[in-house]
Structure 1
Amino acid sequence: MSTSWPESAARDGRSTTGAPSPTPSPVPSGGSRSRGRALLDLVGYGFFPLAFVSRLPFAMTVVGTLTLVSDVRGSLAQSGAVSAMTGIGTAVFGPMTGSFADRYGQRRVLLIGSGVNVAALVGFVLMTYSAVSIIWVAAVGFLVGASAPQVAPLSRTRLITHVTARTPADGRRDPLLSLVMSYESVADESAFVLGPVVIGLLATAFGAGAPLLAAGLIAAVFVVAFAFHRTAALPQHHEAAAGPVPAAARSLLRPRIMILPLGMFLVGAFFGSTLTALTLFMRDRGMELSTGIVYGGMSIGSVATAILIVFVPERLSLRTRWLLCAAIVLAASGALVAATSVVTVTVALACAGCGVGGVIVTLFVIAGRRTPQGRTATLMTTLACALVVGQALWTALGGSISQAHGSTAGFLLSAATAAALILAGLTNHWSERRRSADGAGNGL
């Protein structure tokens, strides 16, 4: 298989933009330099706030379309179906975005995608408020999902590549990579759970269409700035001038890799089914536009867990962490089923967030260690898309179930999804334990 364009360009002494590629400068090993300072020196101080804000449009899309269609068209089932189409668009084109970025470079992919996404978001808002058929609204929703900027996986790819290229393969690299995975997991979780809070605040203050218009503005400004950031030109790797040949695309289809998108799909499914049940729960109390704010209660536990899980002793294997965190999600789902007030629902969501945050961190860390050579952006984008697709499809399913049988039935669907997440974790645990017994595993 041929070498991808950014990598071959770097080996020829060029960046992905055609400019001369600077000689990689290894991070000094002085003990006084913290890991955080070393990482900032690699990518610059402006990278992290830019990358975080730029991922918000992706995180706001599914909930924003659900909120708008539900408020304007008055049907939770229709809003769930439109959100599902948005997720399908992401499912179809999201992994292709990562593959194109691996091959042609991130800058051009982001610029094209952000332009299409801004136009699609504006068109979606206008069509939802018009009298056109819901079918056409769903079609534009598909385009919104297909063009959603894949900033999170591309940011993770940039950081991993810069650390790998500019630090030697010794004790200095692993701590930096660990910090990268910690930051990215916290940023992802914060964006995906805090995004609905932004939607709730904007919808309450300015109307249901305001969140999607704000997402379009962020894409037009911050995503474009992220595309032009100097880190978009991926550097040459340290290890060899010729560099390793990227693995074949079929290497991603191995069961021990595909179990990771399945796990992320189930996390998204939990988000989606919980969101629709919560929407009906809040509507019954006359507080529908505040759904996003209450849903943000999940961020309290999830962000804290995503930070603290980095300090969990390594003797607790990643496969075991997956199971423990999924068990927390299942227990919190039971509390959601029994909840009768907004306060108890918020507390249960915060508890669920503790488990969800741990699962997301664990899945991305495992993915970082199992990724085939040269396929980082593809796999990271696939994981992010799996989360959104699960959220979108279960938003549609949960919307139908909740509208027909009430919010309690919707929360029962969330509990069933959490149980499936445990089964996926058990499958991963048994397969990796068998690999370890055969001498091929590494405790993942």
Structure 2
Amino acid sequence: MGTHSHTTYNFDERFEFVGKAKTWSLAAIIIGVIAIVAGFYVDGSHRMFANLLLMGYYFTCVCAAGACFLAIQFVSQAGWSTGLLRIPQAFASVLPIASIILIVITAAGLFTHNLYHHWHADGITDPNSPHYDALVAGKSAFLNVPGFFARQIIFLGCYSILGAALSKLSYREDLEGSLNSYKKSFKFSAIFLVIFGFTTPIWSFDTVMSLEAHWFSTMFGWYNFAAMWVSGLCAITLIIILLKRAGYLAWVNENHLHDMGKLIFGFSIFWTYVWFAQFMLIWYANIPEETVYFYKRWEPEYKPWFWLSIIINFVAPVLILMDRDAKRKENIMLFVCILLLAGHWLDYYIMIMPGTVENHRGFGLSEIGSILGFVGLFTYLTLGKLSKQPLAPKNHPFLEESLHHQI
């Protein structure tokens, strides 16, 4: 790869969010809203709320993964990724909106008893009630409404505030041209990673694992983090490729794509390790209160999806991305990213649906509507944020290293 100077590229270029991208994202939002409303009547409120939780959680996880990616680059003082930082910054800027949407969904689902009814039901912790559940009552010090919402608001609030701060500092760096913003970004990133690392397992315990309050797994938090991280990496890579095909990000090349491919490949293996450890140890131990979780997922409606999830999220990336050249080809990486984003939607589907939806199971209007609506919303908000600032952090101290990145 030849050398490049700052004058080779136009670092002031901005993404223009117009035309088909904007039209299709708005159309997806409108179609999604209509389908979601219809889904409440066709498929029932339990199933529709479960789908809203699935997509709200997925939406928030991808945005949080973007903020985490950003923080890791600052703390590790990475230079290779500097030229593509605007994409995860856009994710971090959207995170506050995603967090509010998720909190609204969980609140509505909680108080209508369409979600979390395994621990939030009348008399379930009252020893004198016919609905008393001793196991749930034993967890009531943690699983209670005030605690649940306090943790949701505090955790998501911290992620959102720190993620948005990192984005603003980067934009300020473009204007000031000094190292002040970069040094603050380093400090904020360190704080973010400490908070994020310790609280994401608890956040997943609350939001997803508590849907089946009788079951528990100490590996569940890291299983969720792995799915979140791979999904975020795929979303970042997908947008990079699409922007390059639209004529943007000329300074991002096959070497950057290769690094993103290595991260996707490696953390897909990590996801599989946690998936296997959680599944195999519970199956092997044959402890009834634990195996009941997988028993539900082997019912006829879910068993094919259960095995398809492991094929998509493990077998596919291993076979496709094992080769070095595959990670450097846009078409292959584009296919893998779309496949894994769909695969981890299926992973979340398997996590959420069996313990939430008792009747009207299946795949139909509710699932399609929620997918369309949230994909359109994510696209509209992320590309909108991306269009507000130049696509290159032109005063980042490691930009030159990114331009010369070669592996």
When normalised by structure 1's length, the TM-score is 0.32
Bigger helix fraction: 1
Q: Which has the higher contact order (CA 8 A, sep 6+)?
A: 2
